[in-house]
Amino acid sequence: MSNHTILFPEITRDGTSQAARFLPALSPDSVLVDERSLRDLLSFAREYGKELLYFNAENQAMGDWSAFISDDLDLDALVSFMGDPKTVSSQQREEFSRPHLSLFLSFLSLLQRAQTQLNTLTQRHLDFYYQEVLHMQKKAGVPDRINILLKPQPNVAESKVPAGTAVNAGPDAIGKDRIYQTDEDLIVNQAQIATLSSVFAEKETTGFKEARESKKGTQDERFVQMLEIALGNPLPGDALPQSQILSGVDADVDFTTLTDLALLTDFSESGLKMPLFELRSLMKFKRRRDDSSEEWSEINVYLEMAARQKRGNASFVFEPLDPRNFDANLIAALEGAPDYGGLTEVTTIDHLYTQRDREDVKTFIREQLYFDNQDDFLAMMRLKLKIDKEWDAINQILQEAGRLKRNNSAYLLQPDNSSDFSSNLNEAIGPLASPLIGRFQNIAVYYEALEALERDFYMSTESFSYLMQVGLKDAPSTWDWSKVDEVLLEAYQNKVVSKRQAVLQALRETKGLTALLHLALGEISDTAESNPLGRLSVAITNDEDTAFLEEISLREALGDVSELEWQKLYGIVEIAQRFFDNFVLSTPLKERWINLFPAADASSVSSPGVASDSPRWLTFGGANSEADEKSVPDPILGWAMSSPLFALSEGQRKLTLTFAFDSETFFLESLQALFPETSGSTSESTSSAEGPFQVDISGEKGWITPDRLAISWGSYAELTQTKASDLQAMQLTLSFSAALDAIAVFADAAVPSPWPLLRIKLRQIWDESLNRFVTHYAALRELQLLKT
């Protein structure tokens, strides 16, 4: 096998013009209904005549009709004769003018007219469809437009060309002058382009598909990288947020963690024998029953009313041993169990409610249950039956799980106490046996773990389960991956929306609803006009949502807004906010910022593979693909500051600079990653060859590099020993030995300054994987400097 690499030249294209994009096959004339020419018809008649029998006057067969158009007849000449008889010889004209042949040629000439009409069928069908069915209107004619270059005379500084000035562009194809008019007033002056320069930012973007199809890492690692693009924190492609679901403490999420979480989601069906939707229903009812203290208190108030009536003591206080045991509390309140023996079709208090319209039942309620007002009895029973109904629903779900557990559709769960959830769960499916650690032996804790999973991954448990099913397959199909992409895109967008809503919530909780509305409008609360809700409503398409916001704004001062209502409000306002900040939910991409390539002469940056003498060049610049590790380029990106405090002339010198950043954009882990050799919060390195920064300061003769550079990060208050602050900071400590020149103003500095100038530049660092130099700009670009 050859070891030589074959390099194919890159094909450079300028694109395709609009006219060249037209496909001839789309033209109605490209295929005709009847494409037969006159010669085709004559040839057909000749061959057809050979198949027809000729009968004489006695009706006897005598050969065929081949003599009608004989084989020695020149069909091409015959066609020419039909167009212009003068094009053939006199002998041929005489031969072609025979009566039978002239009559047939006349028929063919008339047939051409019908043929022409038939061949317009395709165009007429399109016209009918567009105009009559779709009711599309033809666009009006668009005037031709051209660009012109105007140059004033050398002795004219500037000149005005009024709108409507006629310009002659020369004759057209038929010799008529083409006259154009200028659209608007134009001031023509002597200004010219002196230099064309460009700056190209080289980036590498990775989407879901590129991540999973990468040649780097194992299949499991690539799967995690795909998830990181959707859910990485803080940016797409960063590490997945740590999770407490499995261990109860923050832990990194890798493919093993994801596999364990998949087992956790599958346990609903494998261990509990419940589809996830059934488990949700079960826990919804169970939580509602756990939170029903107010309902039971109200029921017991009604029982207390009956107890007072029974005892004839209006001040009697009913104190049940178990507020949720209705049967026991009813007996205690009435000092004995009710006797339904005198009533037909009534054996329980529930039957009394069902038969409440009977007169004997009404009497029993009044005289035996001691409810003077039947409405009190009915209100109590409505509460009781609501509770009973939900316990019945819970036990119905447990019964179905028990049937699946036993593979017996006839199994019946017959609980002694319908509200004894633990016993009934154990009876139906037995003790829980989680495939993971014991903290999930409790179904409530297990369900809370699933809810935490949905919060952490911004997707439903079902979606996560499907995601992992595909991830664990040996060879997922294209369709599988397309569904995974949909799940991840939705999760990413859910994450973005959730974070936007969290900002609104935090502002509302600290400064109120009005401040939230101003933020959604992109306004500053202190200077904005009043009635922000009125301005926000233009971006709310649902009148019910607008009415809801107006209601909440009135109830806010009373403190009469539930948490669910606030969450609904955040959702409505966030959607409206998108209109004002032009926000669109996008597809996540991991972006790797590689380097910046400036070109003083933009025309010097040519396309790869283009000959050196070609006039073509990259309009917006390009990357240097021929980097050499030994030839380190100068830093390009940087930041400078000046101060009279920098003027340290003699001896050992030390400068300490502290930069305070907004904590929302200060990502400590990303910064620490720039210094892989560090541990803790401090990095010490020689500034000449290590770390992402190249730092120097001005001297009279040039730029001075410090002997040592130490970098610390953390709380601004701790680093500066000042009052408490939520700002985060990076601190640079520069050490200069006595042997170095005095720090002073450098007269030839590119940035003029009356004081010494400090430069912090991003060092060009060789990247083996890319085989080129890179700068660590991406980790720093989100920082918002607030003070130094």
Residue-wise pLDDT tens digits, 290-319: 888 899 999 999 999 999 999 899 899 999
Under 8 Å CB-to-CB from 715, ≥6 apart: which residues?
Answer: 725, 727, 728, 729
Q: Supply the DSSP string of 51-92, one letter for each residue.
A: TSEEE-TTS-EEEESTTTT-TTS-HHHHHHHHH-GGGS-HHH
Q: Which two tokens mark 741? A: 């020149």
Rg of the chain taking only CA atoms, in angstroms? 44
For 686, the token pair is 């020689």
Percent of the chain, pLDDT > 90?
A: 40
pLDDT bracket for residue 386 (50, 70, 90)? very high
Question: Contact 762/693 with Cβ under 8 angstroms?
Answer: yes
Structure confidence by residue, pLDDT tens digits, 506-538 = 999 999 999 999 999 988 877 778 888 889 988
Q: What is the mean pLDDT of residues 771-776?
A: 86
User: Taking 50 as the threshold, does the pLDDT of residue 711 lie above it?
Assistant: yes
* Per-domain boundaries in the chain: 25-132, 163-187, 293-395, 638-787
Rounded to 5°, angle at Cα 444 from 441 and 449: 85
> Within a 10 A sphere around the Cβ of 70, how many other Cβ atoms?
10
As a whole number, the mean pLDDT across the chain is 86
**pLDDT tier, 503 (very low <50, low <70, confident <90, very high otherwise):** very high
Give every CB contact of residue 318 below 8 A, 6+ residues apart in sequence.
300, 303, 304, 307, 308, 329, 332, 333
Which residues, including other chains, have CB under 8 Å from residue 687's CB and lie 6 or more apart? 693, 694, 695, 696, 705, 706, 708, 709, 734
Tell me the sheet residues that pair with 654.
Answer: 735
Q: Are 359 and 366 in contact (CB under 8 A)?
A: no
Tell me the C-alpha to C-alpha distance, in Å, between residue 61 and each of 54, 57, 66, 68: 6, 10, 14, 16
Between helix 255-270 and helix 219-231 the angle, nearest 10°, is 80
Beta-sheet strands, E only, within 154-265: 158-161, 166-171, 177-181, 186-189, 198-206
pTM value is 0.70
List, for residues 628-662, the tens digit of each pLDDT value: 888 888 888 888 888 888 888 888 888 888 888 88
Token pair belonging to 777: 């700009």
**Would you state the pLDDT for residue 559?**
83
